[in-house]
Structure 1
């Protein structure tokens, strides 16, 4: 397990707890988003108090996709075969051009102990050992249940391997709500088989995030960005920095050069995470300004508005402004009739 990590579940709103690939989730190539951004995942409320029973999810289970890109420059997912060595297939049994013994043979005619042709590629033994420990795939888990666009990302793999990778991804989304640790194991199995496919690395990052493995999540999300490119995933990466108790790094990500390429709801997510990082550092006034700049508006409606209202209420509460916080929790309730946040219960707690 990565440390530090909070033992308490989230109380701040989150958009899309189920953000792993689902059949039909991904948008068309012409308008698909580059980010599967998340809101804050802090284990405590902004005021530092406890957050209820461990493991209880506090937000809705939206169906935004985790994968936003195809494979990287090498589409084989690590299934590369070695190129023929010099001297092979030339009718001379690989004999040395100077009359010496062929490669892999000793001058005395015997085979060297470390014959290259019998040696595995770097990391091969570790990958094979990892496959032995892969979680079992239930019979009802079918590759056909994975979104077609994601399955296309796996076409660089051999057919049998692509089938298993797809089934592990489907199993991950099947278990993610009830058993995030098992879902993470399936994500790791998919990575071991297809580590050069961007959507596989991003999915593993999301699963690690859900399992509160902040360091692993951050590493996988970075790998996904290297493979697929684009400014996406910043909000989730910044939130991982918060989970690792590095709020200053979270703010640097939120305000860095790449953040200028983020817009819309992805930018809102990023600002919510930034506000949480500023609270972590005791910068409560700056956190409020961050959310105001993001568009916190008591008259706005929709899930995005509700999340901003909720986060604003939490900062007010952390600042000791309970009455104002209650009012903004009320705004969040009014903005979100579908109850994507638990603002209604938070408001009830303050009114008791």
Structure 2
């Protein structure tokens, strides 16, 4: 069984690393499974891509489609054209896509049009917010997927509501957590720990990149000013996404306890998360990592596709209105934040379960 594993953007890399390791392990055990790693090139900045391959032990891609840059439509078109050519020249038994980035949707469409089965890892999650490009990617991908690997009970329910048969849904857990648990002992103290004189549980990590928060000058300024004023002087460490950097330069925000730094590698960033007082973010994946590490998390979004991080974990959905921020910080600083638990099957064994299912499916399909 030969599988194309698709990766194109930073959120994908944490999800594919343990799957590749599980396939390599199955190969050593004599199982009939192999893979090609296809990097679409959607993220082509070294900090957003290359460092993750090195740190997570991901092998060099067999193919790099080099489809980065341009608008989402231009990226989608470039990925589809280049992946179609690649798949025609080098056929496989199955295309495995992960997450909800442009590459996920584009490669799933190409595979189905060439009559190649598609498996979607992290299938079924929904924000029900069609203004998010990721939500469109999820809906399109899941509408043409053959096999659905899910992270949560709510994802299973979403798929059932959309008419997917139970026989095609496999509740396996979360591959991002496989990576987190595997790498936790290797987390690396970044240089900023010393330069900013950080101390355990005495600083906040912040990440912002979603258009609703960073594309409008007044919104970004209001959010940051409210966070700074609510922080009681705690250092706020803000690794700046390229999208956000442009806007920050134009509004010229400057506070003594707000520290803008370049994006960090996986091991360095998660070292800071693990030792933080709390995280303020609009990312989905970070809410999963904070839940497993037991770190309070404030999500500046009006919705989430990961409700288990709220109902079970340490995350709270504050919305995009800055008015909710002071109350959340008050609760945090009074040590009244909920403790949270780890969601079902987030145990570090998800990738092994995925490979077991793929092997069974291959035997069944001959």
TM-score for both structures, normalised by structure 1: 0.29
Question: Per residue, is there more strand in 1 or in 2?
Answer: 2
TM-score for both structures, normalised by structure 2: 0.28
Structure 1 or 2, whichever has the larger Rg, is 1
Structure number with higher relative contact order (C-alpha < 8 Å, ≥ 6 residues apart): 1
